[in-house]
Chains A and B, each alone.
Chain A
Amino acid sequence: MTPQAILIVSAVLFAVGVVGVLTRRGAITILMSIEIMLNASNLAFISFSRLYDQPDGQIYAFFIMTLAAAEAAVGLAIVIALFRLRESTDVDELNLMKW
């Protein structure tokens, strides 16, 4: 196991998250894809933290985890409010502010 292998896994997972955000239309699936991307970046942070033997990277990963918790809470609250209003979480139907 080399740092390069871990970093490639991290880049591929991030790309999987990007594809999820760009192609899926369910709001919750998009939120889950964002979680995948945040985790991929965390993996890179911890890999570099280990590579340079400094705890800083772990602190950043810790902060990103907290950020993800806040993002999930607010995002899911928005999805619930949206579902009450529209009976759907399809983001293609949310074009009220588009034009």
Chain B
Amino acid sequence: MELVAFVVLTALALVSGLMVILHRNQVVAALSLAANLVAIAGYYMLLNAQFLALLQVIVYAGAIMVLILFVIMLLNLPEEARKPGTGRVQAGLAIVLAAAFALILGWALIRATDGGGYPAASDTFGTVDSVGQMLFTNFFYAFEAISLLLVVAMIGAVLLAKRSVEP
């Protein structure tokens, strides 16, 4: 059962991820990104991180994707023009380098595990209780700093998108 879910999620995540970077229509790319985010939420569920899975669906697939889709539709962008020739070398190099990077990254990540499977999860793993407890004790100052960052980003976004700034 877990294996079936893993295979389905992996297929969904990889196909939708590739659609994001390959499809020329940006609305389709954005909707594929939403599917990709939901697939990753599924992985979180498989890993018993229920709280993060919920956050992923509500905040990422909900709020951030709506923002991106809203901007794409607001700007009414034309499809990305195909430029002959110039991009070929760049694309080939990018794919080779990214494949090499993925190999090294995957090797390093696997080296960081001890080769065994997941241990049995404790009862409290991934609950709102355990994550919230940690967030408001050990990571309290980081939490406050990140709320400040959100305020700054909000003010910056409003200022940048304003039609003109009066002196």
Contact = CB atoms under 8 A, between A and B. Distances in A.
Contacts of A84: 163
Nearest to B3: A1
A32 to B, nearest CB: 5
Assign chain A's interface to a size class.
35 or more
Contact of A72 (B67, B80, B83, B138): B67
A85 to B, nearest CB: 12
A94 interface: no
A23 B110 contact: no
A19 B131 contact: no
A55 B21 contact: no
Q: Chain A interface mostly helix, strand, loop or mixed? A: helix
A77 B156 CA distance: 8
Contact of B161 (A35, A58, A77): A77
Contacts of B75: 79-80, 83, 89
B49 A50 contact: yes
Contacts of A13: 13-14, 17, 36
A83 to B, nearest CB: 5
B10 to A, nearest CB: 6
Contact of A65 (B56, B83, B105): B56
B41 to A, nearest CB: 10
Contact of B157 (A8, A55, A62, A76): A76
B160 A7 contact: no
Contacts of B133: 55
13 contacts: A11-B109, A18-B98, A22-B93, A28-B30, A44-B109, A50-B49, A51-B118, A68-B64, A69-B150, A74-B157, A76-B71, A77-B159, A77-B160
Interface of A: 1-20, 22-26, 28-29, 31-33, 35-36, 39, 42-44, 46-51, 53, 55-56, 58-59, 61-63, 65-74, 76-81, 83-84, 89-90, 92
Interface of B: 2-3, 6, 10, 13-14, 17-18, 20-21, 26, 29-30, 33, 36-37, 40, 43-44, 46-49, 51-52, 55-56, 59-60, 63-64, 67-68, 71-72, 74-75, 77, 80-81, 83, 87, 90-91, 93-95, 97-99, 101-102, 105-106, 109-110, 112-113, 115, 117-119, 121-122, 125-126, 130-131, 133-135, 138-139, 142, 146, 149-150, 152-154, 156-161, 163
